[in-house]
Amino acid sequence: MSNPSTVLSLRVAEIRELTPLVRWLQLEGVDAQPLPGYDAGAHIRVRVALPDGTSDWRHYSLIDTATDAPAGRAMSGYTIAVRREDAGRGGSRFMHGLSVGQVLEVEPPRNDFPLGQHAGTVLLAGGIGITPIMSMAADCLRRGAPVRMVYAGRDPGSLAFVPELQALLGERLRLHVDAEAGGPLDVAAVLDGCAPEEHIYVCGPQPMLDAVLATAEQRGWARERVHFELFTAPAAGAGDQPFEVVLAQAGITLTVPADRSLLDCLIDAGQDPLYDCKRGECGVCAVTVIEGVPDHRDYVLNAKERESGTVMHPCVSRCQGKRLVLEL
């Protein structure tokens, strides 16, 4: 959750339309002072105004393609890119409605997707998931570390930064366009082409991440070889049903609709749950289950923890039955 004492006031200094759906923004401090530095994979959170009159925070990866400057240095500004999602709650539409000169509330950089040092690094990006991945490519090149990248999208218009990536990586970049290749990227082939010492970093839509994790598991890869970040929250399942949640300590009973998360319902009910990513990656929102069977959809718990059914992540996970009792 946000700490108001650490919020920065940043002005929109420049805007570029990279594709019909992707907007590039340069943000600078209103006082022209240097901004906190960061390492590849870091993000900022921006306060956005939603159509219903409320506000919320949205996570945007920071872009730094400099290969001749030290990582973590103080920055004169932050660069992000935002894909407009017309079916979303309105955060991306707010960002696409900004004009140069407007001031935003922004949390300082935080890195939940750090780049390690490996004998070889394979970078895999899907759509707007390219933003942290291209910073990682530049960091590897800065250090002289072996790196290559696969960048996939549904059509040419979904691939932003292609000229920049080609200039940065040259022959170490492979582009895949579903519409031109006749189908989605062959994730199995990508993993089968990895040397035993190579680690893979993935950022993109949920189906891409799920395919990479499942394929890596099938091939017996150690889990620590796959590093990932989802760029959007997992989509609701087609068969999702409402369920009841009893908060044992608060003495409150809630109904979670089929199209809403348990976490959002807890917030709406005046509870103050811990949370951060809202994508089932960070593990911050974990709660204890007293009764009922969770439908686990997170990327944190291992098989044994899932089987025990004693902990769940309300940002993405649901109920397999009609009722859960939580230690809240």
Predicted local confidence at residue 17, as pLDDT: 95
Output the DSSP codes for 83-150.
E--TTSSSHHHHHHT--TT-EEEEEEEE-SS-----SEEEEEEEGGGHHHHHHHHHHHHHHT--EEEE
Has residue 115 been placed in a domain? no
What's the pLDDT tens digit per position in 290-316? 999 999 998 888 888 999 999 999 999
In a domain? residue 178: yes
Q: Is residue 106 part of a domain?
A: yes
Q: Domain residues for 124?
A: 120-230
List the structure tokens of 158: 């979904």
Same structural domain, 147 and 67: no
78 contacts 60 by C-beta, under 8 angstroms: no
pLDDT at position 233 is 64
Give me the pLDDT at residue 302, please.
Answer: 83
Domain count for the chain: 3
Q: Percent of the chain, pLDDT > 90?
A: 81
Task: Tell me which residues of the chain have a pLDDT lower than 50.
Answer: 1-4
* Same domain assignment for residues 165 and 221: yes
Any domain includes 236: no
CATH classification at residue 160: 3.40.50.80
In a domain, 235, yes or no: no
Spatial CA neighbour of 118 closest among 268, 232, 251, 224: 224
